[in-house]
Structure 1
Amino acid sequence: MGSIYLIRHGQASFGADDYDVLSPTGYRQAEVLGAHLAQLGLTFDRCLSGNLFRQRHTAETALAQMDAAGLTTPPLETDTAFNEFDAEAVIRALLPAMLSDEPHALEIMRNAAHNRAEFQRLFALIVGRWLGGEHDTPALQSWLAFVEQVKAGLDRILESASHNDRIAVFTSGGTITALLHLITRIPATQAFELNWQIVNTSLNHLKFRGREVSLASFNSLAHLQLMKAPELITYR
């Protein structure tokens, strides 16, 4: 059987002007991941990422650690199917209708880094509306369209894969969630309950035979736990 390793990017710059940049912690997480993979002697036949900077930087940093340890790594390919959904667009489209029930929502969103718990509560409510589809707008990518985007990327991998290939995909939490939804048939709302638990740079292992794909492991963070540095275990 072949293997696909879905790897969430390192911690991004939550609350900064540009979220799509690894924080110092995110960069360190990617280094630790690469060193761990090298120690395991795990090699890849293909490596892909979305084209978001945080995804590519995580991949490049981890692969550099593997190269430094003497492992041969393939060139990094990009496929926009593995980009994260546009969370800012979802918030902009769906938040206004919630303001009567959540009068402080705009203030919380503008100061998200200082209101993390309240941001997460509101964001979960917004995502719930997005998943339901009743509030879709023509300009906003729907959850179903996002799932189709991710499925197309997975299909392209499977179409060109050999039966025992090992493939790394550096991506994001929402993309991993969509794949879990597709592969395990877990309802979208339950899949997003798992989403909130996906740790930065965690490993999620899929096994495939032809077009059949199954989940082998979810959200492995042993590489971070072995560092005995709790600050490296982050969720956003």
Structure 2
Amino acid sequence: MGSIYLIRHGQASFGAENYDVLSPLGFQQSAALGDYLKQLGVRFDHCVSGELNRQRDTAKATLERMAFPQQSQLSAIEIDSAFNEFRADEVIRAHMDDLLAVEPQAMQIFSNAANHRAEFQRLFTYIIHRWVSGEHEKEGLESWASFVDRVQAGLHRLLDQADRKDHIAVFTSGGTITALLQLIIGVPPIKAFELNWQIVNTSLSRLKFRDRDLALASFNSHVHLELLKNPELITYR
């Protein structure tokens, strides 16, 4: 059987003007992952990343520490937008008026999220529940169902191109991993998102495949961070 390693990006710049930038800690997490995979002797036959900066930079930083030669490492990363994260900022904006009706302070909390992390998470969870339910569709906004279809199309492309014993790395995001979990283990989307909130930056989730048959072999492993015995390395955004 072959293996697909779903790798969540390193810590991004939560609360900054541009979230899609790896933080210094995000680069440190990526390096730790690369060192760990190198020690295990893991070699990837195929590496794919979404097109977001935090995904691509996690891929580059990880593969560099796995001692891939610079030029071949760069050319080895295939970019596939199917593995992009859903546009959380667009989801929030589309549902903001509805949220303000029940949470008048929502705008202030979202505009200063870094200083209101617990309140941000509570309100963001409320919005995500509305979005994934399919009962509050917004014109021009990618629906949860469409997002899952996009991710599934990318997965099928991977499987159709793979050899039977390939080891494939997919550098992606928490929402994308959540969509794949829903597809593979059949949990309702709300339940899948309960797992999403637990996905650690640069964690590994492993799928085993034979043709298009898939099974979840492991979820959210972050041993590479735990071994460093620094709790600050374990982050969720």
Give the TM interval when normalised to the shorter protein: over 0.9
- Match of residue 224 from structure 1: 225
TM score, norm. by length of structure 2:
0.97
Q: What are the ranges of 5 or more consecutive residues in structure 1 without an aligned counterpart?
A: none
Output the CA distance in 2 between the equivalents of 1:76 and 1:121: 36
Q: What are the ranges of 5 or more consecutive residues in structure 2 without an aligned counterpart?
A: none
Output the CA distance in 1 between the equivalents of 2:120 and 2:69: 40
Q: Give yes or no for the alignment of 1:130 onto 2:131.
A: yes
Output the CA distance in 1 between the equivalents of 2:112 and 2:46: 40
Output the CA distance in 2 between the equivalents of 1:191 and 1:69: 37
Q: Which runs of 4+ in 1 moved over 6 A?
A: none
- Match of residue 233 from structure 1: 234
Which amino acid letter does the alignment assign opposite residue 200 of structure 2? V
Partner-residue secondary structure (3-state), 2:206: strand
- Match of residue 176 from structure 1: 177
How far residue 67 of structure 1 moved from its aligned partner, in angstroms, is 1.4
Give identity over the alignment, percent: 60
Output the CA distance in 2 between the equivalents of 1:24 and 1:181: 32
How far residue 138 of structure 1 moved from its aligned partner, in angstroms, is 2.0
Output the CA distance in 2 between the equivalents of 1:107 and 1:140: 23
How far residue 3 of structure 1 moved from its aligned partner, in angstroms, is 0.1
- Match of residue 209 from structure 1: 210
How far residue 133 of structure 1 moved from its aligned partner, in angstroms, is 1.4
Q: Give yes or no for the alignment of 1:50 onto 2:50.
A: yes
Structure 1 contact 45–166 (Cα < 8 Å) conserved: yes
- Match of residue 199 from structure 1: 200
Partner-residue secondary structure (3-state), 1:95: helix
RMSD value, Cα: 1.4
Which amino acid letter does the alignment assign opposite residue 154 of structure 1? L
Output the CA distance in 2 between the equivalents of 1:40 and 1:95: 46
Deviations along 1:18-54, one digit per CA (max 9) or x if unpaired, are 1000001101000100011101110000000000000
How far residue 135 of structure 1 moved from its aligned partner, in angstroms, is 1.4
Structure 1 contact 11–235 (Cα < 8 Å) conserved: yes
- Match of residue 37 from structure 1: 37
How far residue 202 of structure 1 moved from its aligned partner, in angstroms, is 0.1
Cα distance 1:155–1:68, how it changes in 2: closer, same or farther (>3 A)? Answer: closer
Output the CA distance in 1 between the equivalents of 2:68 and 2:5: 21
- Match of residue 6 from structure 1: 6
How far residue 68 of structure 1 moved from its aligned partner, in angstroms, is 6.2
Cα distance 1:68–1:169, how it changes in 2: closer, same or farther (>3 A)? Answer: closer
How far residue 206 of structure 1 moved from its aligned partner, in angstroms, is 0.1
Which amino acid letter does the alignment assign opposite residue 224 of structure 1? L
Structure 1 contact 49–59 (Cα < 8 Å) conserved: yes
Partner-residue secondary structure (3-state), 1:215: strand
Which amino acid letter does the alignment assign opposite residue 217 of structure 2? A
Structure 1 contact 38–69 (Cα < 8 Å) conserved: no
Partner-residue secondary structure (3-state), 1:6: strand
Equivalenced residue count is 235
